[in-house]
Amino acid sequence: MKTAGLFQSVELTQVVPGTPFHAGDLGIVVEYLEPNETQSEAGYLLEMFRNNEALDVIAVPISWTKLNSASTQ
């Protein structure tokens, strides 16, 4: 799995519990989160957008995201 760099766009691949965000929603990586004692998988802090409006910042495991094709061009 290729990881995203800071400020790259990623797409969620599933619903994020406790949030209004679903698979297909886009976010911008604002921080990389190292694995730790309570979270065995690395993650991202994502700034989430809808209709070009920033809505929230959420933390998700990297496996819940994929690179947005527009970010890789």
Asked if 33 and 50 count as a contact pair (C-beta separation under 8 A), the reply is no
Distance between CA atoms of 34 and 20, rounded to whole angstroms? 25
Phi-psi bin for 16: left (phi > 0), alpha (psi -120 to 50), beta? beta
As a whole-number percent, the residues of the chain with pLDDT over 90 amount to: 77
pLDDT at 72 over 80: no
pLDDT at 57 over 70: yes
Distance between CA atoms of 48 and 66, rounded to whole angstroms? 14
pLDDT of residue 1: 54
pTM of the model: 0.87
Question: Per residue in 14-43, pLDDT tens?
Answer: 999 999 999 999 999 999 999 999 989 999
As a whole-number percent, the residues of the chain with pLDDT over 70 amount to: 92
Q: Give the DSSP letter of residue 63.
A: G
